[in-house]
Amino acid sequence: MPALPRLQASGCTNPILDVFLHVNGVLTDPFILEFQIFDISTDAKKASPLQVFPVAVGTRQAVNLAACPTGQKVSTGRFAAAWTPTAAEALGLHKIVWFFKLQSGSAEQTSTEEFDILIELAADPTNRSGASFDPTLRAPGSYLTVTEMRDEGVTTTEASDTFLAARIATASRYIDRATGRFFEPRKMTLLLDGAGHHDLWLQQPIIYIESITLISTSTTSPETPVSADLYRVYNRHLSQGLIKPDDRDNPRIELIRGEDILSVYYSGAVLTDQLGEFLWPIGTQNVRVVGFFGYTDADGTATGATPDNIKHVCKLLTYRNLPKITDIDEREDRSQRFRITKQKTRDQEIQMTRHVRGGTPEGPFTGDFEIDEILLSYRRPMELGAA
């Protein structure tokens, strides 16, 4: 879930509140785009959301479709909402509702995403005057906000906001390392090897593709853009809500075959020159793919959400690692508690075992089955190949 501290602006340079618009998995620019922001921080407001921007209820804020910094276009199909919560903005859950038409005659569509408003921090973390804020409240790559851990009962006595944010970031990176995946949208530029096949295989699940370019050693045309009409993007978990088969386990981009175009095989000069008759040209790092990638669950938004199980594991890992390095006893208690099979308070006897759950060995990562079984279920499939 995105998070925005009070007094921190969302916009081109900090696109916390953004939207991705696409057609069949390929990012595209709209004809018109507007948004509203609502406060849903209490049960009453969830039942009847309070519009906070624009201030006039029922009105919408139009988005300037020009490229940043003139407008709010971050990249093809991606736009940022320009809004800064005031020092008096209610803390907690909010939502942004986007309204858009892809073409002038298209039906209006909407996209809704929830986000968190956090408290601003002064330059001195002990003095919350509202004069400035600390942008590390939600570090890039983190799967939780500080508020989410506070909701689980972590107090400011146990950990300050900045310390807690750092522990969340560490837990999130551990999840990435253990699973071989990441669980939020990340923009990447990939240089892939064409293998003379119709399919281009990727390692990370596809959210959206921005562009594909063929790279050659030719001095006259070293780069050839590939039209979005000529390939299919396999991200059906988002575009169609399909998880069987799950494209996240087998992400790929497929060139449309000649017989797929009105049942007529195309071998015209233009297509042959560009795509070698609908095959990715054989080469080393000769296909450049720009897009957004990450393992997310469909939730009605354009990019999906971090899976709930991953957030749960992140909470458990963060809690285990809250004690400082010098607090040996507390660190031992939190990391080994799951192994305890017997305790005697009077004699202070503790028995621990390497085996839990009816003799099943410990988990392979932390040893804690509650954590490790989830991490195992989200691991990237093993890659098989032959020389």
Q: Do 192 and 256 share a structural domain? A: yes
Q: What is the CATH number of the domain that holds 57?
A: 2.60.40
Q: Whose CA is closest to 143, among 248, 1, 304, 303? A: 1
Beta-bridge partners for 208:
292
Q: Do 125 and 15 share a structural domain? A: yes
Threshold 0.75, pTM exceeds? no
> Of 93, 115, 133, at which residue does a domain stop?
133
> Of 266, 293, 320, at which residue does a domain stop?
293
Query: Is the bond preceding 323 in cis, omega lying within 30 degrees of 0?
Result: no
Distance CA 379, CA 182 (A): 10
pLDDT of residue 190: 92
Q: Do 87 and 17 share a structural domain? A: yes
pLDDT of residue 330: 65
Distance CA 71, CA 371 (A): 44
Domain count across the chain: 2
Within-domain flag for 387: no
Q: Do 126 and 17 share a structural domain? A: yes
Beta-bridge partners for 289:
190, 212
Distance CA 123, CA 137 (A): 13
Q: Do 105 and 35 share a structural domain? A: yes
User: Which range marks the domain in which residue 21 is found?
Assistant: 3-133
Within-domain flag for 325: no
pLDDT of residue 346: 58
pLDDT less than 50: residues of the chain: 122-137, 262-276, 355-356, 358-361, 385-387
Q: Do 214 and 106 share a structural domain? A: no
pLDDT of residue 195: 84
SS (H, E, C) the chain: CCEEECCCCEECCECCCEEECEECCEECCCCEEEEEEEECCCHHHHHCCEEEECCCCCCCEECCCCECCCCCEEECCEEECCECCCCCCCCEEEEEEEEEECCCCCCCEEEEEEEEEECCCCCCCCCCCCCCCCHHHHCCCCCCCHHHHHHCCCCCCCCCHHHHHHHHHHHHHHHHHHHCCCCCCEEEEEEECCCCCCEEECCCCEEEEEEEEEECCCCCCCEEECCHHHEEECCHHHHCCCCCCCHHHCCEEEECCHHHCCCCCCCCHHHHHHHCCCCCCCCCCCEEEEEEECCCECCCCCCCECCHHHHHHHHHHHHHCCCCCCCHHHHHHHHHHHHEEEEECCCCEEEECCEECCCEECCCCCCCHHHHHHHHHCCCCCCCCCC
pLDDT of residue 334: 61
pLDDT of residue 271: 42
Within-domain flag for 138: no
Within-domain flag for 202: yes
> Of 293, 310, 328, at which residue does a domain stop?
293
Q: Do 206 and 89 share a structural domain? A: no
Residue 234 identity (one-letter amino acid): Y
100-159 residue pLDDT tens: 999 998 899 998 988 888 776 543 343 333 333 344 345 567 898 887 888 899 888 888
